[in-house]
Amino acid sequence: RLRKWQRKIRISGATERNLAFALSELDRIASRLNLPRTVRETASVIYRDAVKKKLIRGRSIEEVVAAALYAACRKCNVPRTLDEIAEVSGVKKKGVGRTYRFLARKLNIRLPPTSPIDYVPRFASELGLSGKVQSKAIEIIKKAMKKGLTSGRGPTGVAAAALYIASVLLRERRTQREIAEVAGITEVTIRNRYRELTSKLNLGVTF
Amino acid sequence: MGENDLEIEIENIVASATLGRPIDLSKISKALKSVNFNRKQFPGLVYKLDKPKTAALIFGSGKLVCTGAKSVEDSIKAIKTTVNKIREVDPDIPEDYEIKIQNIVASANLSKPLNLDEIAMTLENTEYEPEQFPGLVYRLDKPKVVLLLFGSGKVVCTGARDPKDAKLGVKKTKERLKELNLI
DNA sequence: GCTTTAAAAAGTAAACT
DNA sequence: AGTTTACTTTGCAAAGC
């Protein structure tokens, strides 16, 4: 039937338009976050899978795009926080997190929580810290993980505190404020974390 | 050995009641003191009581919800007290009405630190997103409850309609963690 | 989905001292 | 620097948008 045919054309036209819009959004956000192509490609695969499984119902395209990017970042070990994704996507942090959990469940994406270690290179380079400081920070983080000092704590806070301690130990000190700003957390959080790390790990220094 | 050390503490109970008769909320909001009622914001009238420190939501349909009680007894007591208050303003409320416990929130302590990363990798039906919340979410099927596990070993169990299920949920969670050497 | 209620867990945030 | 208050998560009912 002609009418049925026209309907299909209309629907697939809308579907293609939506996909084009989604992919351009994905690219726009990825550019603003300086994400490498591999992450963009991973995110677009996740988005297309979501479309195939009709998981967009009841959700906005922006939300799914943001969640797909967040998942891709984690999968590629190029972490970006929910706050960063939310800020440039215009989607509320709560919505990105909720949609991410939904996609992860429906697409059987099981990603381990982001390790604080994954944030070290990015934060360190933004702070102009040497590779020695980075290695020291990673060493501290590994000790913390073995002693159960990272369970339930935000990965960025742990990474920031470890970098703070390492920067002091190796005489490349950055202020709490500088580190807090690149890590996107507050100075109080850095203080709470480094106090815990220095008191429970034998780092040989008392602040 | 029979470790009956699982001391579960009930923290909150949500219960509902059906009075089977419409209620004039405007009348009640004028007669009672600790009441808040904004129809545009929420259809229910909020009534807070001190005796069992609870809050009740009263609806025009004659149904109500009671929250905040720390025992089934207190929850029922709070509902009866609330209904008696409604009777002072609106007689004709039936003597018998159905009361149903809808949800129980309980807390417990496994007394051992938990490695949430390991648990997230090994235990089934879990969600752990430390960037968003420090607790690991564990969904149990048998008693259909949800548990929140924390690095400290403290646990929250919610979703049970019977205190026994809340305790059973914590007990089974503890057993499962032991089975998987995640104690 | 949201709105309102209550309460615990532990971490983090914003606002103050 | 440290404190207080508030919000994040889980579960649930109610009537209505």
More confident residue, A60 or B14: B14
Q: Cβ distance B106 to B40 under 8 Å?
A: no
Measuring alpha carbon to C1', the residue closest to nucleotide D9 is B133
Q: Residue A155: what pLDDT? A: 98
Helical (H) or strand (E) element with A50: helix A37-52
Distances (CA, A) of B58 to A29, B21, B35, B101: 47, 12, 10, 16
Torsion of CA B19, B21, B27, B28, to 10 degrees: 0
Q: Residue A57: what pLDDT? A: 85
- Per domain, the residue ranges of chain B are 14-101, 110-180
pLDDT in tens, A171-194: 999 999 999 999 999 999 999 999
Q: B-chain residues within 8 Å CB-CB of A101? A: 127, 129
Model confidence, pTM: 0.94
The verdict on A99 touching B (C-beta cutoff 8 Å) is no
CA of B23 to C1' of C6 (A): 23
Q: Are B115 and A148 an interchain contact pair (Cβ–Cβ within 8 Å)?
A: yes
B144 C-beta neighbours (distance < 10 Å), count: 12
Same fold, B14-101 and B110-180: yes
Nearest in space to B150 (alpha carbons), one of A33, A152, A201: A152
**Between chain A and chain B, how many beta carbons pairs sit less than 8 Å apart?**
45
Q: Residue A11: what pLDDT? A: 66
Structure tokens given for B170: 């914590």
Q: B-chain residues within 8 Å CB-CB of A81? A: 131
Structure tokens given for B80: 């009866």
Distances (CA, A) of B177 to B114, B116, B172, B181: 10, 11, 8, 6
How far apart are alpha carbons B20 and A207 in whole angstroms? Answer: 66
Q: Residue B1: what pLDDT? A: 55
How far apart are alpha carbons B88 and B18 in whole angstroms? Answer: 18
Q: Which of A15-19, A64-68, B133-137, B179-183 has the lowest mean pLDDT?
A: A15-19
Q: Cβ distance B106 to B160 under 8 Å?
A: yes
Report the top-level CATH class of B110-180: alpha beta
Interface probe, candidates A84, A145, A151, chain B, greatest B C-beta count within 10 A: A151
Measuring alpha carbon to C1', the residue closest to nucleotide C3 is B42
pLDDT in tens, B28-40: 999 998 899 999 9
How far apart are alpha carbons A187 and B93 in whole angstroms? Answer: 58
Q: Are B117 and A156 an interchain contact pair (Cβ–Cβ within 8 Å)?
A: no
> Which of B113, B128, B150 minimises the CB distance to A113?
B128
Query: What CATH number matches the domain at B14-101, 3.30.70.3340, 3.30.310.10, 3.40.50.300, 3.20.20.210?
Result: 3.30.310.10
Distances (CA, A) of A38 to A71, A73, A89: 13, 9, 19
> Which of A81, A145, A148 minimises the CB distance to B131?
A81
Q: How high is the ipTM of this complex?
A: 0.93
Q: Are B131 and A156 an interchain contact pair (Cβ–Cβ within 8 Å)?
A: yes
Nearest nucleotide from residue B18 CA, by C1' atom: D14
pLDDT in tens, B155-170: 999 999 999 999 999 9
How far apart are alpha carbons A104 and A75 in whole angstroms? Answer: 11
Nearest in space to A69 (alpha carbons), one of A97, A108, A110: A97
pLDDT in tens, A91-138: 999 999 999 999 998 999 999 999 999 999 999 999 999 999 999 999
Whether A13 shows a pLDDT value over 80: the answer reads no
Q: B107 pairs with which residues across the strands?
A: B9, B156
Q: A-chain residues within 8 Å CB-CB of B114? A: 151
Measuring alpha carbon to C1', the residue closest to nucleotide C13 is A186
